[in-house]
Amino acid sequence: MGHLSVVSPPNTIELKNWHLDGRDITESEKRIKHLHGLFKDEESYNKLHPETLVYSVQAHHPVPEGTPGGLFFGTTIVQPGRVGTEYFMTRGHSHLNEERTEYYWGVQGEGILILMNKQRETWGENIFPGSLHFIRGFLAHRVANTGPTQLIFGASWPADAGHNYDDIAREGFSARLMEVSGKPTLVSI
Ligand code: S6P
Ligand code: ZN
């Protein structure tokens, strides 16, 4: 970069599927074998092949984790599928810096963003291509794929948000998204 120069940006987004290319991108995958204890029905969980892909994440980290004022950007693909009657979903987290917020937006497929407040009230927002979701501070968030195709969504969050997975791993959400009479339904635990 120099004074008066015009250059190509270091990153691109494939607008069809929001695949990210370029520098400072991390990729991660969560398979059934990585998600012990996440789903309710252990018998059904144990019947699935351990290598079954549940979701994958690409994230663009242009600044170090924790940088005040920095932003991160990512794309998540949740595969279609269920463990028993519970839809494939992300682990879910709140932010270590609890007041930090986040945007999600739907790109492809259908799903539900599951949100839980500090009082452990849980609700959902439908995700569809073009849906926009502002996740307020202090909310735990996770996404389930309720459709027959891949669910793709984008996300952007502050570089100093941090991720708290422990609370959800220990206590879970207060409701699970299950298929009941053919419909996605939040079921109280
Ligand atoms: C990061 C953002 C997403 C999730 C991803 C996977 O703040 O919310 O990139 O990391 O959707 O979900 P989880 O709960 O496994 O991080
Ligand atoms: Zn988050």
What ranges do the domains of the chain cover? Answer: 11-188
Please give the mean pLDDT across all residues of the chain.
Answer: 98
Ligand 1 atom closest to residue 55's alpha carbon, by position in its atom list: 6
User: pLDDT at residue 1 above 90?
Assistant: no
Query: Which ligand ends up closest to the CA of 26?
Result: 1
Q: How far is the CA of 71 from the centre of ligand 1 (A)?
A: 14
Kindly report the number of other CB atoms within 10 A of residue 66's CB atom.
13
* β pairing state of 86-87 and 82-83: antiparallel
Residue nearest atom 2 of ligand 1, based on CA coordinates: 155
In this predicted model, what pLDDT tens digit does every residue of 90-149 receive, in sequence order?
A: 999 999 999 999 999 999 999 999 999 999 999 999 999 999 999 999 999 999 999 999
In this predicted model, what pLDDT tens digit does every residue of 153-177 receive, in sequence order?
A: 999 999 999 999 999 999 999 999 9
Over residues 56-65, mean pLDDT? 98
Ligand 1 atom closest to residue 78's alpha carbon, by position in its atom list: 11
| b/e map 103-113, b = 16+ CB within 10 Å | ebbbbbbbbbb
* Superfamily of 11-188 according to CATH: Jelly Rolls (2.60.120.10)
In this predicted model, what pLDDT tens digit does every residue of 71-107 receive, in sequence order?
A: 999 999 999 999 999 999 999 999 999 999 999 999 9
| Residue 152 near residue 96 (C-beta atoms within 8 A) | no
d(CA 22, CA 55): 21
Q: What is the pLDDT of residue 8?
A: 96
Query: Which ligand ends up closest to the CA of 137?
Result: 2
Which of 55, 72, 93 maximizes ligand 1 atoms within 8 Å of its Cβ, making it the mutation to test the pocket? Answer: 93
Residue nearest atom 10 of ligand 1, based on CA coordinates: 57
How many Å from the N-terminal Cα to the C-terminal Cα in the chain? Answer: 54
Ligand 1 atom closest to residue 163's alpha carbon, by position in its atom list: 7
Q: What is the pLDDT of residue 133?
A: 99
Residues whose beta carbons lie less than 5 angstroms from ion ligand 2? 102
| Residue 22 near residue 12 (C-beta atoms within 8 A) | yes
| Residue 140 near residue 116 (C-beta atoms within 8 A) | yes
Residue nearest atom 3 of ligand 1, based on CA coordinates: 155
Over residues 44-50, mean pLDDT? 98
Which is nearest to 117 in space by CA: 101, 96, 137? 137
